[in-house]
A and B are shown apart, each in its own frame.
Chain A
Amino acid sequence: MAGVAGGNDFQWCFSQVKGAIDEDVAEADIISTVEFNHSGELLATGDKGGRVVIFQHEQECKNRPNLRGEYNVYSTFQSHEPEFDYLKSLEIEEKINKIRWLPQQNSAHFLLSTNDKTIKLWKIGERDKRAEGYNLKDEDGRLRDPFRITSLRVPVLMPMDLMVEASPRRVFANAHTYHINSISVNSDHQTYLSADDLRINLWHLEITDRSFNIVDIKPANMEELTEVITAAECHPNQCNVFVYSSSKGTIRLCDMRTAALCDSHTKFFEEPEDPSSRSFFSEIISSISDVKFSHSGRYMMTRDYLSVKVWDLNMENRPVETYQVHEYLRSKLCSLYENDCIFDKFECCWNGSDSAIMTGSYNNFFRMFDRNTRKDITLEASRESSKPRATLKPRKVSTGGKRKKDEISVDSLDFNKKILHTAWHPKENVIAVAATNNLYIFQDKIN
């Protein structure tokens, strides 16, 4: 794949936007996770209301080969409901924190969705045939009187309108005291891990009544707690390896073959702190909000508040690449601390060939970095630039005194419009960007 910024590289165009246009956004409609499946055919979103919406990529029109197909709603279902923890007298939010697809093994699709406490395995299957001609019941379902049956017939499968059914196949509950922040399917396709603030559990997809605890960082005395787990992921091809990140900006790589309890890490990744930029907010902005392995499995990427870092798994003492997402916010940290924005958890993602990375920012801006050319681009997900196949114009935030035309000043940024969740198609240059309650889909312009 070519690069991300202009020139003979790709140009990003608007494709679609999903969601209501209302200024008043219902809290339940806020998208909380976005994930393509392994083929890119399906795109799943989860929202704060506990619903999952799956979009399917339409077959491309043969008449218009320049136009990629659109994503249309494939299935919608209520994954999680709000619950009440009677022991603690606290509500358990139904917000979907993460969705992860299982690799497809038959005609049905499977995904894991999780809220703060419970993980569910959903099967999404298609039904386009219906059996007709039962012996024991009528077409409308009423039971026939057995004495009236004088002959037998074989039911025949008749075509029917396509129906997509989502059914919960497994419920993995009661294994997490703290809030689940990550789930990750293992490359063995049999197990997966789930991580909360203090513990990581390993599950078998078939077994719901128990799980293995593989990491536990809860101190004996909770008053000594200074660090929590913020994200975890399984290695894409080594089923014994996983990583987890912490609120202190460290990443630990663990090998499950070494011990049953992986409290001691195999590798420890931490960048030494720059003493000249130390402030009271240093620790908070170093907290890692997302960690993602590259598709190759050789690198991993971490997102902290102001930057994205690419790490070589063979080098623990510093990242190999660092990209500044919105360095202009460094002088605003106090305000961002006061309005809690400093605790926003941005995600990041790789493109299919690991040559580019993407992450979100404020004011509905999102950023892409080309690892080869070192070019970067800032784009905006907005209704204004949502004309069909309109090329997105690069945006710029002015940091100095003079603001050029078309630039936006730091003080004009809307910190309520944050892009926390983005996803990149595993094979093509198609991206999905969640802006509050709207899902934007952008594609490259095929020349």
Chain B
Amino acid sequence: MFPKGTKRKFSDSGDEPAAGGEDVNQPSSVAVRMLSSYSLQRQSLLDMSLIKLQLCHMLVEPNLCRSVLIANTVRQIQEEMTQDGTWQIMTQALSAANAAAQCSADRLVATEVLCRQTEATQGEQVLKPFPAVGSEGCPAEEEVVVEGEGGVTMSTVSPQAPTSYLPGTFGMDPCWEEENGEDEEEDEDSEECGSGSEEGDSDRLVEDSRTAEQVFGTFEIKNPAPSPDPALEELFSDVDASYYDLDTVLTGMQSAPKMGPYDLLESLSSHGPSPLSSSTSCRSDLNELDHIMEIIVGS
């Protein structure tokens, strides 16, 4: 992609471009906005891609070409985020459990705004190069004003804020490796075993992030925190990490996803990408349904 250290310029309609790429601690407010906007866009793209990989038509084998292209996009984003140092920040931040649930809804909104923004800026590149985000330069919270046709204003959290459906430590977490292949009804609240080893894991992650196995290990979706958000809980409550091995994804061996959580997910994001509203019937195991009902009733 972009070689490290190269000053990358961005052009905005009328705004003054930021001077340099290294010093982001005291940039103009525009630069800060554009930085986080790009990171947000990238994050949204990553989220979207991961959702696409999960939501395959379960009755028919998923399209291998599409899965491979999405997987390559995910890997590309991860590589860039690793270079930026954003990846490490994010994996560390996954242990910040409380923020997970709050920002998840915002991120879904971001996907919609991202695409609306894209439509508003005709002729512009979707994802522009931006100065690298310094590892210490991650502001806690910022307002991003998106000037689109609708004049949408949204407040976002920095990339520091984790999302519960982003891959966590990608198979390096020994706790998750144990869970591979085990019964899917195992309790997903594994943050007690996750937090301890996450520091070390994220270091190893940064080093190994470019290996193929590592990258495709990202398909193991983690739910590190007991999220009060019932929609997300339902979505991932019966996720068996082993289901997201690339091999199973690509050969369509996943169990059928449930329609219930996806309706909720769709309602959170008004953009509702088409795979979510797929009308193909999904076969569901009776046990899995019971499990979901327990969660719904329980929360």
Listed residue (B61, B69, B125, B253) with the most chain A CB atoms within 10 angstroms of its CB: B69
| Minimum Cβ distance to chain B for residue A83 (Å) | 11
- Contact (A334, B68) CB under 8 Å given A179-B63, A223-B216, A223-B245: no
> Contact mask B144-178 → A, CB, 8 Å, 1/0?
00000000000000000000000000000000000
Segment of A129-137, A275-283, A357-365 engaged in the interface with chain B: A275-283
Q: How far is the CA of A361 from the CA of B111 in the complex (A)?
A: 26
Tell me the A186-231 residues at the B interface (CB within 8 Å). Answer: 197-198, 221-228, 230
Q: How far is the CA of A88 from the CA of B64 in the complex (A)?
A: 15
The binding surface of chain B is classed by DSSP as helix
Segment of A32-40, A155-163, A337-345 engaged in the interface with chain B: A337-345
Q: Are B68 and A281 in contact (CB under 8 A)?
A: no
A91 at the interface (CB under 8 A from B): yes
> Contact mask A333-357 → B, CB, 8 Å, 1/0?
1110111100100000000000000
Which bracket fits the contact residues of A?
A: 35 or more
Our pick among A222, A228, A338 for the contact of B247 (Cβ within 8 Å) is A222
Q: Are A340 and B275 in contact (CB under 8 A)?
A: yes
| Minimum Cβ distance to chain B for residue A4 (Å) | 28
Listed residue (B41, B52, B68, B77) with the most chain A CB atoms within 10 angstroms of its CB: B68
> Contact mask B212-226 → A, CB, 8 Å, 1/0?
110010000000000
Q: Are B121 and A339 in contact (CB under 8 A)?
A: no
Our pick among A221, A224, A278, A335 for the contact of B118 (Cβ within 8 Å) is A335
B298 at the interface (CB under 8 A from A): no
**B77: nearest chain-A partner, CB-CB:** A280
| Minimum Cβ distance to chain B for residue A370 (Å) | 27
> Contact mask B224-267 → A, CB, 8 Å, 1/0?
00000000000000000000011100111100000000000000
- Contact (A284, B61) CB under 8 Å given A338-B273, A411-B119: no
For A331, what are the chain B residues with a Cβ–Cβ distance below 8 Å?
118-119, 121-126
Q: Are A343 and B61 in contact (CB under 8 A)?
A: no
Q: Are A338 and B48 in contact (CB under 8 A)?
A: yes
For A335, what are the chain B residues with a Cβ–Cβ distance below 8 Å?
115, 118-119
- Contact (A90, B60) CB under 8 Å given A222-B250, A225-B246: yes
Q: How far is the CA of A226 from the CA of B67 in the complex (A)?
A: 10
For B41, what are the chain A residues with a Cβ–Cβ distance below 8 Å?
334
A410 at the interface (CB under 8 A from B): yes
Tell me the A317-333 residues at the B interface (CB within 8 Å). Answer: 331-333
Q: Are A340 and B274 in contact (CB under 8 A)?
A: yes
Q: Are B252 and A280 in contact (CB under 8 A)?
A: no
B210 at the interface (CB under 8 A from A): no
B96 at the interface (CB under 8 A from A): no
For B64, what are the chain A residues with a Cβ–Cβ distance below 8 Å?
178-179, 197-198, 228
Q: How far is the CA of A283 from the CA of B122 in the complex (A)?
A: 21
> Contact mask B128-147 → A, CB, 8 Å, 1/0?
00000000000000000000
B residues contacting the other copy or chain, number (CB 8 A):
46
**B48: nearest chain-A partner, CB-CB:** A338
Q: How far is the CA of A283 from the CA of B1 in the complex (A)?
A: 12
Q: How far is the CA of A116 from the CA of B61 in the complex (A)?
A: 10
| Minimum Cβ distance to chain B for residue A115 (Å) | 11
A422 at the interface (CB under 8 A from B): no
B34 at the interface (CB under 8 A from A): no
Q: How far is the CA of A277 from the CA of B126 in the complex (A)?
A: 10
Q: Are B247 and A223 in contact (CB under 8 A)?
A: yes
A287 at the interface (CB under 8 A from B): yes
Our pick among A88, A223, A280, A334 for the contact of B76 (Cβ within 8 Å) is A280
For B253, what are the chain A residues with a Cβ–Cβ distance below 8 Å?
88
Q: Are B250 and A334 in contact (CB under 8 A)?
A: no
Our pick among A88, A332, A339 for the contact of B119 (Cβ within 8 Å) is A332
Q: How far is the CA of A74 from the CA of B119 in the complex (A)?
A: 47
> Contact mask B24-45 → A, CB, 8 Å, 1/0?
0000000000000000011001
Q: How far is the CA of A5 from the CA of B122 in the complex (A)?
A: 29
| Minimum Cβ distance to chain B for residue A153 (Å) | 57
For A45, what are the chain B residues with a Cβ–Cβ distance below 8 Å?
none
A438 at the interface (CB under 8 A from B): no
Q: Are B61 and A179 in contact (CB under 8 A)?
A: yes
Q: How far is the CA of A226 from the CA of B250 in the complex (A)?
A: 11
Q: Are B127 and A279 in contact (CB under 8 A)?
A: yes
For A221, what are the chain B residues with a Cβ–Cβ distance below 8 Å?
212-213
A174 at the interface (CB under 8 A from B): no
Our pick among A280, A334, A399 for the contact of B123 (Cβ within 8 Å) is A399
For A279, what are the chain B residues with a Cβ–Cβ distance below 8 Å?
125-127
For A227, what are the chain B residues with a Cβ–Cβ distance below 8 Å?
68
For A337, what are the chain B residues with a Cβ–Cβ distance below 8 Å?
45, 48
**A281: nearest chain-B partner, CB-CB:** B126
| Minimum Cβ distance to chain B for residue A262 (Å) | 21
A247 at the interface (CB under 8 A from B): yes
Our pick among B68, B71, B247, B274 for the contact of A339 (Cβ within 8 Å) is B274
A312 at the interface (CB under 8 A from B): no
Our pick among B1, B77, B118, B246 for the contact of A222 (Cβ within 8 Å) is B246
A93 at the interface (CB under 8 A from B): yes
For A88, what are the chain B residues with a Cβ–Cβ distance below 8 Å?
61, 251-253
Q: Are A334 and B115 in contact (CB under 8 A)?
A: yes
Our pick among A92, A116, A178, A283 for the contact of B72 (Cβ within 8 Å) is A283
B59 at the interface (CB under 8 A from A): yes
Listed residue (A230, A247, A399) with the most chain B CB atoms within 10 angstroms of its CB: A247
| Minimum Cβ distance to chain B for residue A232 (Å) | 13
Q: Are A224 and B212 in contact (CB under 8 A)?
A: yes
B102 at the interface (CB under 8 A from A): no
**A283: nearest chain-B partner, CB-CB:** B72
Q: Are A332 and B118 in contact (CB under 8 A)?
A: yes
Q: How far is the CA of A90 from the CA of B59 in the complex (A)?
A: 5
Our pick among B69, B114, B273 for the contact of A287 (Cβ within 8 Å) is B69
Q: How far is the CA of A281 from the CA of B118 in the complex (A)?
A: 13
Q: Residues of A at under 8 Å CB distance from B?
A: 88, 90-93, 116, 178-179, 197-198, 221-228, 230, 247, 277-281, 283-284, 287, 331-335, 337-340, 343, 399, 410-411
7 A-B Cβ contacts within 8 A? A88-B252, A93-B60, A197-B64, A222-B251, A223-B245, A333-B126, A334-B115
Besides A178-B64, A334-B114, 18 other CB < 8 A contacts?
A88-B252, A90-B61, A91-B60, A221-B212, A222-B251, A223-B212, A228-B68, A247-B68, A279-B125, A279-B126, A280-B45, A280-B77, A280-B127, A281-B126, A332-B119, A335-B115, A337-B45, A343-B65
Q: Residues of B at under 8 Å CB distance from A?
A: 1, 41-42, 45, 48, 52, 59-61, 63-66, 68-69, 71-73, 76-77, 111, 114-115, 118-119, 121-127, 212-213, 216, 245-247, 250-253, 271, 273-275
The 8 closest A-B pairs by CB, nearest first: A223-B216, A222-B247, A197-B64, A223-B246, A334-B118, A335-B115, A224-B212, A338-B273
